[in-house]
Amino acid sequence: MKKFAKLLAMLCTVAMMVSLFAACGSQGGGASTTAGTTAAPGTTAAPETTAAPKKTQLVFGTSADYAPFEFHVLDGGEDKIVGFDVSLAQKIAKDMGVELLIKDINFDTLMGELDAGTVDMVLACIAPNEERLKVSDFSDSYYEDKAPVMLVRKADYEKFNTAEALNGKTIAAQIGTTKETIVAEQFPDSDPLLLTAVPDMVNNLLFNKCDAVCLDGAVADGYVAANPDLMIADGIVLGEGDVLGVAVKKGDPQGLLESINKTIAACLADGSLDKWMIEAEEQSANALN
């Protein structure tokens, strides 16, 4: 009888331990289950995915030495980059609901920065050409630029007012621009002075270190208005103005062009672009004086 009682007690103890382990196993399974991922009988649960973080910043690459398109001003003692292209970039970012960051770099490195992904878009009075289209795609056009011109010293206007007169002379142009190409193709006998910054080119002209500067028409207008010692050699015809666009990385991996084109269309329709150019020219006149 005692043996039977002892055996019964042992069986009860084992039963209680089995029950306890089963309960613990049930709790562990519940803790590792995420709501909404339990598979129905005969199906496989889909793996969880994490949504990509929403873009909060737009990095805008430019070369801020090109008034009235992009240039530096002092506003209350603070250095700021302003201009026609900057106003458009600000509107693009606003329409996307993101913060705009401006990266000011040499013009000839802009496409490389875009291709490397260190900037998201480029606005720098820039037009598509064969080389640029290898690494970038362009938005719809937002501005048809003035024709390129030759800027000369007023004292030399009569002497250098024909293309032939500049043969063998020193002509400055900005590296990486269509103006560099113009000098190479239309003035093959000249001595090109290739620099990275437009103000340096103009200073070289003023200090007789070059004979002419090949510039965008709108940019040249600003320097002539600010300096009575400069003139545009209007007897020299260099071709038509560029049709400007916004450049993004080839293939548009961030999907920016649709939004950019919508903003451009809206700004063309409501006259914002015309207004911004007038404002930029006024700011440019003050900055260059």
Residue 31 has pLDDT above 50, yes or no: no
Phi, psi of 24 (to 5 degrees): -60, -40
Say what percent of the chain tops pLDDT 90: 79
How far from 176 is each of 19, 53, 102, 106, CA to CA, in Å? 80, 35, 20, 9
Residue 216 makes CB contacts below 8 A (sequence gap 6+) with 66, 125, 145, 146, 148, 149, 179, 241, 242
Sheet strands (E) in 93-215: 99-104, 121-122, 136-138, 143-144, 149-153, 170-174, 191-195, 212-215
CA-CA distance, 114 to 131, in Å (whole number)? 13
For residue 87, pLDDT over 50 is answered with: yes
Average confidence (pLDDT) over 8-32? 39
Q: Shortest CA distance to 114 belongs to which of 208, 278, 253, 230? A: 253
Angle CA 237–239–243, to nearest 5: 145
Q: Tens digits of per-residue pLDDT, 89-121?
A: 999 999 999 999 999 999 999 999 999 999 999
Q: Tell me the domain boundaries of the chain.
A: 57-145+242-288, 149-232
- The fraction of the chain above a pLDDT of 70, given in percent, is 82
With 60 as the cut, is the pLDDT of residue 189 above it?
yes
Mean pLDDT of the chain: 86
Q: Is there a contact between 256 and 40 (Cβ–Cβ < 8 Å)?
A: no
Interval 256-265: pLDDT, tens: 999 999 999 9
Please give the pLDDT value at position 179.
Answer: 96
> Is pLDDT above 70 for 159?
yes
- Model pLDDT, residue 1: 39
On whether the CB atoms of residues 245 and 264 are closer than 8 A, the answer is no
Question: What is the gyration radius of the CA atoms in the chain, in angstroms?
Answer: 33
The rounded distance, in Å, linking the Cα atoms of 140 and 173 is 27
Comparing 57-145+242-288 with 149-232, is the CATH topology the same?
yes
Tokens encoding 46: 């889909």
Contact 275, 107 (CB under 8 A): no
Q: In angstroms, rounded to a whole number, what is the distance separating the alpha carbons of residues 238 and 15?
A: 99
Question: What is the rounded CA–CA span in Å between residue 283 and residue 85?
Answer: 13
Q: Is the pLDDT of residue 12 over 50?
A: no
Q: In the CATH hierarchy, which fold is given to the domain comprising 57-145+242-288? A: D-Maltodextrin-Binding Protein; domain 2 (3.40.190)
Side chain identity at 141, as an amino acid letter?
Answer: S
Q: Please state, in angstroms and rounded to a whole number, the distance separating the CA atoms of residues 244 and 125.
A: 6
Q: What is the secondary structure of 196-233 as a DSSP string?
A: S-HHHHHHHHHTTS-SEEEE-HHHHHHHHHH-TTEEE-
Query: Under CATH, which number does the domain 149-232 receive?
Result: 3.40.190.10
Instruction: Indicate whether 241 pLDDT > 50.
Output: yes
Work out whether the CA dihedral 190, 196, 201, 207 comes out positive or negative: negative
234, pLDDT greater than 90: yes
Distance, CA of 188 to CA of 219 (rounded, Å):
24
pLDDT given for residue 53 in this prediction: 59
Q: Is the pLDDT of residue 145 over 70?
A: yes
Name the residue with tokens 């609901």: 97
pLDDT, tens digit (0-9, with 9 covering 90-100), for 36-84: 333 333 333 444 444 445 789 999 999 999 999 999 999 989 999 999 9
